[in-house]
Structure 1
């Protein structure tokens, strides 16, 4: 969720900042090429981030989430500072990514699990996960 809010805030600030810079250039009548390119780049980047995040804003604010459950394969990449996990849902053929997930080495890396992944209604942003043993349905790991 932090990633969603960060994208939303950066997008809004980029658009607002670009509009202020355009207005300042218009008032001062100074249109240097570098300032125009930087402002236009900031504006386009902000509009892109807002186009990605605003359709899901209703679901995040109203906490309208969907739970995708079924067999999954969890692939953990721990090459950087923090580990990232890809949840490949075998039943629905969807892929969800989470950051800072503990290792599942005791259970195996590519064996199927039973997973419940909470996402926004439009399936654009991940909220949380629960990983169960596929046979016993015993809870192995959950998101904080």
Structure 2
């Protein structure tokens, strides 16, 4: 919660909301910390994706300011997407603040596309949310092939 309230000044989740989400079996949460200091959480991320549902929702993601710019958010997002796929989801949705271009850039680079805008979604700042969706490709298996001797 220290990280949550430090990152999201006015629209941080309450302790009760966070505890309820973390305890929900339909949710999946990750935390990241330095290997030598497991009590210093540098990032966290959460997914809501009930087993067998075709859709998932990125609930939250936060990276401490001093840990940004090193790919930690990308790693967390990739793991949440993989978990959504393992649970059966084929689409993942999220909302992102319209005034957060760095997060939007990350999500777009992962294949999320903008679907629409929720006006005044983030309160009390009255900031719009962009609704984004990722269509997760169906996993495919293929046999490895070796080149013909004539091609070598």
Shared fold per TM-score greater than 0.5: no
Larger Rg: 1
TM-score range, shorter chain: under 0.3
Larger relative helix fraction:
1
TM-score by length of 2: 0.22
TM-score by length of 1: 0.23
